Amino acid sequence: QAKYKERGTVLAEDQLAQMSKQLETFRTHLEAFASKHKQEIRKSPEFRLQFQDMCATIGVDPLASGKGFWAEMLGVGDFYYELGVQIIEVCLALKHRNGGLITLEELQQQVLKGRGKFAQDVSQDDLLRAIKKLKVLGNGFGIIPVGGTFLVQSVPAELNMDHTVVLQLAEKKGFVTVSEIRGSLKWETERAKQVLDHLLKEGMAWLDLQAPAEPQFWFPALFPELHGQDGNPE
């Protein structure tokens, strides 16, 4: 029995050694691929996404460090750092209007507008990766799934699952009422009011007291969704 156990250990070690060798070979090929196609990786969002997926399969994060092969060869660290700065600038500029919430689509439009027509294209995947890197700055930046897209939160407001569910409920119309929350989510009135009052306090919602039936709680971050995503709801 000891002999079989020893043989099994040797086989396991051999398999591990083979896997390590294969991963190292793949990493070498990946570096050669990156070196050959660095211009395409820097210029094309689609190429960049495919490259990031290739890196993920072997546990390589080309954004993890500002030093070393990936940063020197591709400049990807600089690309996402600069993109992060642009995201912060856009979010700060629009905070007075949306309370620190913005759809990923509008954020992409505003970033592209600021970069100019001759700059590198930026995809929504690029934005999401840059936002995840911005989380190291604290709890100010976050990503909230809403419908088939995302809302980007750029203020350190405490939003729990209740707030997220209400935002998801308001996504199609841009507003929600206490009655709609009660009917759709089966919540008590007090629970709905607490969530909405918090969103009002944080500046993420606006209250329309002149609505015909009952007060409506509007979310300016969702306005572009209702106006062809042109970023001009007025």
In this predicted structure, what is the pLDDT of residue 53?
74
| Domain locations along the chain | 28-140, 157-225
In this predicted structure, what is the pLDDT of residue 7?
57
In this predicted structure, what is the pLDDT of residue 105?
93
Question: How many CB atoms within 10 Å of residue 201?
Answer: 11
- In words, the CATH class of domain 28-140 is mainly alpha
In this predicted structure, what is the pLDDT of residue 224?
58
CATH of domain 157-225: 1.10.10.10
Enumerate residue ranges in the chain where pLDDT < 50: 65-67, 74, 226-234
In this predicted structure, what is the pLDDT of residue 170?
93
In this predicted structure, what is the pLDDT of residue 10?
57
C-alpha 152/C-alpha 86 separation (Å) is 14
Q: What are residue 103's DSSP bridge partners? A: 151
**Do 28-140 and 157-225 show the same overall fold?**
yes
User: How do residues 26-75 score in pLDDT, each as one tens digit?
Assistant: 667 666 776 676 667 667 777 777 777 777 666 666 655 444 555 555 45
In this predicted structure, what is the pLDDT of residue 126?
86
The closest alpha carbon to 175, from 206, 144, 152, belongs to: 206
Phi-psi map region of 174: left, alpha, beta (phi>0 left; psi -120 to 50 alpha): left
In this predicted structure, what is the pLDDT of residue 51?
72
Compute CA distances 92 → 88, 118, 152, 154, 163, whole Å: 6, 24, 12, 8, 22
In this predicted structure, what is the pLDDT of residue 200?
94
